[in-house]
Copies of this chain bind each other. A is one copy, B any other.
């Protein structure tokens, strides 16, 4: 048979004095990279179906099995969603019945479910401090957006979030658009600003409530709160959100699975 058009090549030229990184990348990883590039470039939009495995196999001149393995990994990474009998779809934060994919909060009773109300406190444009800029990998002094909001269960405030975003990516973001949007905030980011959150890293610690946090969360000053710092990434591991949440964990907890 004819050789595939995508030949097995070193994935990247290792710099001289390289410590021994992977020298080759298998075909299916190169296909994966090509599909990822199309996702990043917007060739297929969130919620849409991508071409069938057979079509992609023809397009990339490889076998269906190789495309399959590439898609397998992308599905594992939560970039694609497979639906048997229908097709493979671009994952989306909207339309997803799981309201908050990244929120690990759960009530102490009940199973996993939380129904939370949002209340936006503030949305302002400012210049990134040195620390914010470092996390977002922008320059200090560049424009940024800060959002402050509460999550409530009934009328009990549970989470106070402070969110920082690069101003250049979120130009038209206002408190009104945040309030008006139905669905998770990451769905808004995706559909209105073309920024798709892929993965995130969180750092948790226990802190004492300061005066402002105590007021918003209606707890005594000094009460223990769970601090959750999150940095979210879009394609190519580019950081696009810094978030600091203070969780009131008297009747809720942060759940995590280890394996």
Residues of A bordering B, CB below 8 Å: 77-78, 101-102, 104, 106, 198-208, 222-227, 229-230, 247, 249, 252-259
Contact = CB atoms under 8 A, between A and B. Distances in A.
A254 B224 contact: no
Given A102-B258, A225-B224, A203 B253 contact: yes
Nearest to A227: B206
A255 B201 contact: yes
Contact of A201 (B203, B224, B227, B257): B257
A248 to B, nearest CB: 9
Given A203-B254, A207-B206, A254-B204, A259 B226 contact: no
Nearest to A225: B206
Contacts of A247: 206
Contacts of A208: 223-224
A contact patch SS: strand
Given A206-B226, A225-B224, A256 B259 contact: no
Nearest to A199: B259
B256 A202 contact: yes
23 contacts: A77-B259, A78-B259, A201-B255, A201-B256, A202-B258, A203-B253, A203-B255, A204-B204, A204-B249, A204-B253, A204-B255, A204-B256, A205-B226, A205-B249, A205-B254, A206-B207, A206-B226, A206-B227, A208-B223, A208-B224, A222-B222, A224-B225, A226-B226
A254 B205 CA distance: 6
B206 A224 contact: yes
Nearest to A78: B259
Contacts of A206: 206-207, 224-227, 247, 249
A225 B206 CA distance: 5
Given A206-B207, A226-B206, A249-B206, A199 B258 contact: yes
A230 B249 CA distance: 16
Contact of A226 (B77, B104, B198, B204): B204
Nearest to A101: B258
